[in-house]
Structure 1
Amino acid sequence: MRTDAARNRARILSAAAAIVAERGVDGLAMADVAAAAGVGVGTLYRRFGDRSGLAYALIDARERAFQQDFLGGPPPLGPGAPPRERVRAFLHALADRTVEQLDLLVMAETAAPFARFGGAYAAHHAHLSMLIAQHSPGSDAPTLADALLAPLQAPLVAHRLRTGAVTPERLKAALDALAAW
């Protein structure tokens, strides 16, 4: 990426993050982000497409750090712990991440019918499938991975948290029960 393009991207993401912190995701307007970043609205649309693309970009740094943690960080999230412990640590960390970035994830995951199943989901699914296969050879690891990831859909988590039907702690306990194969 060109230096000026990288600088513009950083300014845009900083402006968008500040707007989300101040007004919430519902207050994230492309025109406001462009004005705060000192770029044209067209630049914003060319680079991010729409608000959900901007939401994904805001989520990206946290996702990259999360992936680094489960691929190479310390156990039990990272390598070195038994597969079952790693599954539990992974699901708990993913639940925390989902709650922390809930509104951005809801926006990103509901942008299109299959928006949830992009790069991050594929990485999470592949990681869980690998751990499940290590722990239970011969199991249908990909389907079990989908079952473990399903309760972490941002719209579902948002609904359950906001109606008081679940807390982050109860969500993690339920994930533990699901992963007790």
Structure 2
Amino acid sequence: MTSLTPEQYKQKMQRRKEVQEQRVSQAALEKGLIIVNTGNGKGKTTAALGMVMRSLGHGYRVAIIQFIKGAWEPAEKAVFTKWGEQISFHALGEGFTWETQDRDRDIQKVYEAWNLALSYIRNPEFKLVLLDEVNVSLKLGYLKLEDLLAGLDEKPEDSHVILTGRGAPPELIERADLVTEMKMIK
């Protein structure tokens, strides 16, 4: 590395600061994102919940809709309910589909979750909506992809929607602004 004089270092850091401040000011004007966390590795929901925590820390209202989980009380619900009115948490599934063994009922529960999710997606007061395990609902044919994509079109420009679960379809991946594939390495 090149040795800089104290004055050169100060000038270099000042330029970096200006560039960073410019990026931050532009980011505040950027649109909300459609984010997909998919893949066979662990961490899809965990990564999304980290974004939920950051949004809560900024004082934003957040909604979490869990499409598959619901037959048990998820631990994250106990944590997030401490934020009161700032967060709306709904675990609307009936558990893993191999446990329910009732396709019509599974589809009905998914559409109940979807209709609730859509009300949050449309609501400009909610800056982040997490659709947990919705990709699994798509893959199993419980939710029509065209319904999901049409619903995403109704998102206010400054709101974020995160969609998690294995098997995100190519059309959703194409539509998303940011896609992360969780991959098992070990």
Asked if Structure 1 and Structure 2 have the same fold, meaning a TM-score greater than 0.5 normalized by the shorter chain, the answer is no
Relative to its length, the structure with more helix (as a share) is 1
Relative to its length, the structure with more strand (as a share) is 2
Choose between structure 1 and 2 for higher RCO, CA contacts under 8 A separated by at least 6 residues.
2
TM-score (norm 2): 0.29
